[in-house]
Each structure stands twice: as structure tokens, then as C-alpha cells.
Structure 1
Amino acid sequence: MQIQLKPINQQVVAVVGASSGIGRNAALQFANRGAKVVVAARSQPGLESLVEEIQKMGGEATAVVADVTVFEQVKAIADRAVEQYGRLDTWVHNAAVELYAAFEVTTPEEFKRVIDVNLMGQVYGAMAALPHLKREGRGALIHVTSIEARRSLPLQSAYAASKHGVDGFLESLRVELMHEKLPISVTNIMPASINTPLFNKARTKLGVKPMGVPPVYQPSLVAKAIVEAAERPKRDVVVGDAGKAILAAQRISPSAVDAYMVRTAFSGQRTNEPKSETAPDNLYEPIQGYDKIEGDFSEQARSWSF
């Protein structure tokens, strides 16, 4: 079945996890293309500054403060879109938290919290959005995961498990919608290492501030892929050629990727900047000062990808 999605300038788009990084850039790109945007996150200051930025460029935006681990708060995002703009056309779910720690020093509570935000939050998002997309007769569910939806890295067991879970959930949902002949596209956006404030906000037990395994890419590349998927249906989108290389190698020889990870992924995720595990993080509450698009790796981040 061919799915025809509306042009961006005719859409109402909800972006969840919009206060910083990829989500913030995506909201700006949608607004710049003429979409009406509902932005959601836990950080009220981040949302307020984003709405102001969108309105200054002549766009329309509404903010909803929400914690994605609470279904009623997620449902309120979709409901607000319909109340404010009459409908919902695209749901972009990007909210995530990160924990850098060896599995043996990860607590049950920490592991569960990552699953609750990164997996159950995405599930709640789809549950909240689907009734509105069905009523509209078409639409797009766009879920941002990671290349770790297909290939896990060490020191990120909870994060990798959550992203694998989203991938499995989306595959099942996509086929159910196809079976019902509903013109709703389901897209999994899988970024490689992206230069966002995630690394500043993550809880770390590595003794240093973490970083993404190089090469690192700019958030604008992922945001561009999200906006494209809202207009032209796509199934899976890997952003970052290094991510594509890893996933290709994973299909050929997982054990070779294991060996590569042993050599590169432990040192590759560490900066030289000391950071205590008691330093502020956003695992349970938002932290201030990081409501921006780019992180600390702009000098080395690529704004292009093959």
C-alpha cells in the first residue's frame, strides 16, 4: 500500500524530547517549513525558549511540559495538538536518557528508569498518537532510536536494551497497521554518535564525562532525516555513515564487531574530563543549562555523511 503524507507546510507535528539536541533542531526545521508544532519535554525553560525562537521566525508553536514515563502526560501532548490546531499529522518521539556504566555497577532502579523513559515512553507516544492519526486518515509515527537498536555498545547495557526494545515494538506495530490497511507510516531513525548535550546530561560511572564513539555527527543531519520521513514514508533510516558501516559489519560477522568494540569502544566513549557519578544528571529530573542543539564536540562533529 502506497502511503501519501501531507506536505510539511500543511502538517501539525508533535515533537517529544524537543528542549535540546535533535528534537530542538527538528522542531525548528518543521516550523521553518511551515508546520504547526507542538513541542514537549520535561524542561520548561527549554520549551519556552524554543517556542519564542519559532515565533520570532514567524512560525506557530505550543509547548507542553511532560514526563514520558507518565502515560497521561504523554496523552496530553497529543490532545493539546488537536485542541490547539484541530488535528495531529506526525508524531516524532525523541525523548531519551542515557547511563554510562558497566552492567555490574548499574542498579536495578537505574536500569528500569532507562527502560521506562526510552522504551515505555516511546510505547506511550504511539498509544497517544495513533487514535488521532487514524481519525485524520493518514499520518506518520517517527521514533528516534540509535544504531544501538541493532548493535549494542559496552557500558550502555540499559540504553542498548531500551533501543532494541523500541525496534522490536515498531516492527510489530508496522505490520499490524499494514494488515489493517491504515496509511500510517512507521519510521525508525537510527543515529550514530551525535553532537548533542546528551553527554553532559547523562549519568556516568566511568569517572569521566562520556562521549560518543567517533566519528561524531551534527544533530541537523538527524533532524533533516526526521523531517524527510514526515513527508516521504521511510521504514528505517540510519544517520551517519559510520553507523551504516557498523550495522553492515554486524550483519556479516557479529563476532568481528565484538572484537572491534573490545579494541575501540571502551576508550572511545571516554573524554579526559573528570566527572563524578554524583554530578548532576537528568536521569530522574531535568537539569538546567543544556537547552541547546549542539553539545561539546562541535569542532570535530561532521555536518555531512555519505
Structure 2
Amino acid sequence: QLQAAADEAISRFGGFDTWVNNAGVSLYGRCVDVPLEDQRKLFGTNYWGVVNGSVVAVQHLRERGGALINLRSELSDVAIPLQGAYVASKHAVKGFTDALRIELADERAPVSVTLVKPAGIDTLFVEHAKNYLDHQPKLPQPVYAPEVVALAVLHTAAHPQRDVYAGGASRGMAWFGRSAPRVYDAMMRRLGVKAQLTSEPRRDGDALHESGTGLSERSGRHGRVRERSFYTDAHTHPMSARAALMGVAGVLLVAAARRYVRETQG
């Protein structure tokens, strides 16, 4: 199917210079309670989908040059409870993508390989997940708009980077988990389950076995949604971020100067 998509793009447009692997689905449930068959099916999309897409894309990009962008998650760096299979699949995506990047660099292939790691995003991720819990799950705050991820992907297509965190919370969570793993585990033990559960009874939703419907971009069920991420903006547009910081510093300097003048005159 992915080869057919590439062939159609080549036939219609003469080729492509950017390929984004973004297919994904999740399971909610404790690791030992989720049937192994469903865990394997999740890997069929989350891991093997990325592998198949990458292999197809690289065959073309090796000759033409361009960007391969794989979407993973903050959960490729750390783990949370209730989504063990999803976490494992994202760790696998990271390992495969990092190895592929090294191999392409060894070949001197003109292909950039980027991992984009979103935080919680206001999509229908939860609604489409297979749920083995008694209650409806939710995404813990903070939750970001889909545009935060889309703009990060667009930027890395033209400005190659190794990794990009879409949402400052993603970067913070990864740093915390790596810097203080025992403390992180203790916090997840106390808060990780509660932070992902609502008091609502479980609703039917299972894009694991059937494709999702509706084509809605946003869920609208996650409370406050952050439309921008200053961290991601600063990482992808360092000059603009530097200008903004200089502007803030200038405002603070002017305010301090005025206060100094008033106090001196007084």
C-alpha cells in the first residue's frame, strides 16, 4: 500500500522530496491485561508502518534527495502507565530511525532523517484508542494544538534537524525522565494513572481494528489547548526567538530606566 502511494506520487508529480510517517493508534490498559494479539496489531501500525514507509521513501530519496520525517512521541524517551504497548512501539520507532540515520550518513545519501516528538495533542487520539479500562481516558495537561506539530514538521522538511520536540512539555518530560529516573518513576506511580482517567464510563472506540471516522482534526475534550509552543518556536526559529527575547529585554530595560528616573527625581 505504501509503495502504491509512492508510485502514485511519482506518476502524478514526478517525484517527492519529503515523506512523513505519522500513522498511529493506541491501547489503554495494564500491560498484563491487554491481549497480545492487540499489542501485535498496534505494532503493525505504529512500528511496522514507520519501517515500511521509511524503506519505500528512502528508495526514492536516495536518488533525488530530501527529508524523511518520522513522528514518534515524548513516550519514546520515557514511559507512562496504562499505555505500555504504545510506549514500547514509540521506543522501537526511535531505535529504528536512529539506526537508519547513521546508515544513510555512512552511505553519504542526501537524505535528512528527523524525529518529531509531540507532547499531548488535541486530536482524536483518545477517542480512537482501544480501551480495556473501566473509565474513559484523557490526555494530561498541557495539551497543544495540532498546528504546533504541523509547523514543526514543515520546518524540518526545509531545515533538517535530528530531533524536534513539539510542545515544551514533551522536552521537559523527557529531560525529567532521563535526569531523575527514580523520582520520575515515583511520580508516575502516584500520579500517572489518575492523570489519565476521567470519571466517565468507557465509550466504544476502536481504530485499532477499523479505521477512524469523521476526519475531525481536533477532539475538543481536553480542556485548555495551547495554540503555540514558545519552546518549539525557539527551537525551530532561533532568530525569531532571539529577537523576541531581545524585545522583552528592551521593554524591561526601558521600564527599569523610567523607574530609576522617577525615583531619582523624587
User: TM-score interval w.r.t. the shorter chain?
Assistant: 0.7 to 0.9
Asked if 1:194 corresponds to 2:121, the answer is: yes
Give the corresponding residue for 2:217.
293
Q: Check whether the contact 1:221–1:303 (CA below 8 A) recurs between aligned residues.
A: yes
Q: How many residues align?
A: 230
Higher-Rg member (1/2): 2
Query: Residues 299 and 280 (structure 1 numbering): CA distance in 2 closer, same or farther, change over 3 Å?
Result: closer
Measured after TM superposition, the shift of residue 298 of structure 1 is 5.7
What percentage of residue pairs aligned between the two structures are identical? 38
Q: Check whether the contact 2:119–2:143 (CA below 8 A) recurs between aligned residues.
A: yes
Asked if 1:121 corresponds to 2:49, the answer is: yes
Measured after TM superposition, the shift of residue 288 of structure 1 is 2.0
Give the TM-score taking structure 2 as reference length. Answer: 0.84
Give the corresponding residue for 2:206.
281
Task: Flag structure 2 segments of 5+ consecutive residues without an equivalent.
Answer: 231-266
Deviations 1:50-70 (A, max 9, x none): xxxxxxxxxxxxxxxxxxxxx
Greater fraction of residues in helix: 2
SS in 2 for 1:105: coil
Whole-angstrom distance in 2 between the partners of 1:90 and 1:297: 32
Task: Flag structure 1 segments of 5+ consecutive residues without an equivalent.
Answer: 1-72
SS in 1 for 2:112: strand
SS in 1 for 2:225: coil
Asked if 1:303 corresponds to 2:227, the answer is: yes
> After superposition, where does 1:1-306 map in structure 2 within 5 Å?
73-136=1-64, 138-276=65-203, 279-289=204-214, 291-297=215-221, 299-306=223-230
Q: How large is the RMSD of aligned CA atoms in angstroms?
A: 1.2
Give the TM-score taking structure 1 as reference length. Answer: 0.73
Give the letter for the 1:238 counterpart.
Y
Deviations 1:97-141 (A, max 9, x none): 1101101111010110111110000000001111111121x1100
Deviates more, 1:91-100 or 1:205-214: 205-214
Give the letter for the 1:301 counterpart.
V
Q: Following TM superposition, where does structure 1 have runs of at least 4 consecutive aligned residues deviating by more than 6 angstroms?
A: none
Q: Check whether the contact 1:218–1:298 (CA below 8 A) recurs between aligned residues.
A: no
